[in-house]
Structure 1
């Protein structure tokens, strides 16, 4: 399936609740409010999604390039994913970004995520500025992140 820019739609300018968040596979609870003031990339994925796994090295490179400049990122496993598979894959691959479980679908439900791979880019105010269903155009994503970082 080719990647589609979904636009902003009903999410345009909508700030997510700062209480909304996720739990990393290390058991750390992270609320989006803790990441306010910085761009945030939420990459929804599943361990049985080949496209998701194929984009992970590019997401890792993007994270390494931008983490020091303020980008926050999490790879959020879909609620139906098996936690032991997520843990196994993350341990084997050693992704540099936080990997999260969303077993109750709290975060996926708030954003209306049903299909993966699916990325959401938030600005420093926690508002959704871009969404992408399918593999991102990483050049375009980097340009958008650069713009968000310049705007502060």
Structure 2
């Protein structure tokens, strides 16, 4: 019996195969988009020498912003990042600005002090943190991490701040 004669003798076969294929594709799509990526287990070393692990931030909404003092877009967006932090910190937002490994520590310290950055600033002198977050190479790159430790959004480049604020409101309100 050939494939065409099998289909001719069983007219329901083609639609059934198509339905199974469709269900399989839908299942794969659901699994792909429903799966949540956990933030990597890393420890940030802040400029003042404190250690902050992603595990210690569990239960909080966290923004991790990879930046560099030599990055024009990073410098341009930083006042809005400060405003965003100031707006949401009272609701439980944590913020860690991670300076890239190629950024001279004295530049980072000077920038942080002269701009009076109000959040945690960490150095990634080995590049391990950028690697753990998916080999971050472009700055700025910002991650929003939910209370359950999953990455809710990754922004490469300057985010649309209205969209970012909406996401933060939703994440902070979540149980």
Per the TM superposition, whether the score is higher than 0.5 is: yes
**1:118 counterpart (141, 152, 164):** 141
| Aligned length, in residue pairs | 142
Structure 1 residue 129 corresponds to structure 2 residue 157 = no
Runs (5+) with no aligned partner, structure 1: 1-8
The equivalent of 2:119 in structure 1 is: 97
Structure 1 residue 38 corresponds to structure 2 residue 60 = yes
The equivalent of 1:61 in structure 2 is: 83
**Could you give the per-residue CA deviations for residues 94-131 of structure 1, whole angstroms, max 9, x where no partner exists?**
01111110111121111121110110111111111100
Provide runs of 4+ in structure 1 moved above 6 Å: none
Greater share of helix residues, 1 or 2? 2
Q: 2:147, 2:109 → 1: CA distance?
A: 29
Match of 1:95, SS state, is coil
Match of 1:16, SS state, is coil
Structure 1 residue 145 corresponds to structure 2 residue 168 = yes
Q: 1:17, 1:89 → 2: CA distance?
A: 27
Runs (5+) with no aligned partner, structure 2: 1-31
Q: 1:42, 1:50 → 2: CA distance?
A: 18
Q: 2:65, 2:164 → 1: CA distance?
A: 12
**1:72 counterpart (61, 83, 94):** 94
* Contact kept in structure 1, 2:67 and 2:141, CA below 8 Å: yes
Match of 2:64, SS state, is strand
The Cα RMSD (Å) is: 1.5
Residues 1:119 and 1:17: Cα distance change in structure 2 (over 3 Å):
closer
Match of 1:136, SS state, is coil
Q: 1:33, 1:136 → 2: CA distance?
A: 25
**Could you give the per-residue CA deviations for residues 54-112 of structure 1, whole angstroms, max 9, x where no partner exists?**
10100001101111101110110001111111011111110111111011112111112
Match of 1:26, SS state, is coil
Deviation at 1:17, TM superposition (A): 4.0
* Contact kept in structure 1, 2:62 and 2:145, CA below 8 Å: yes
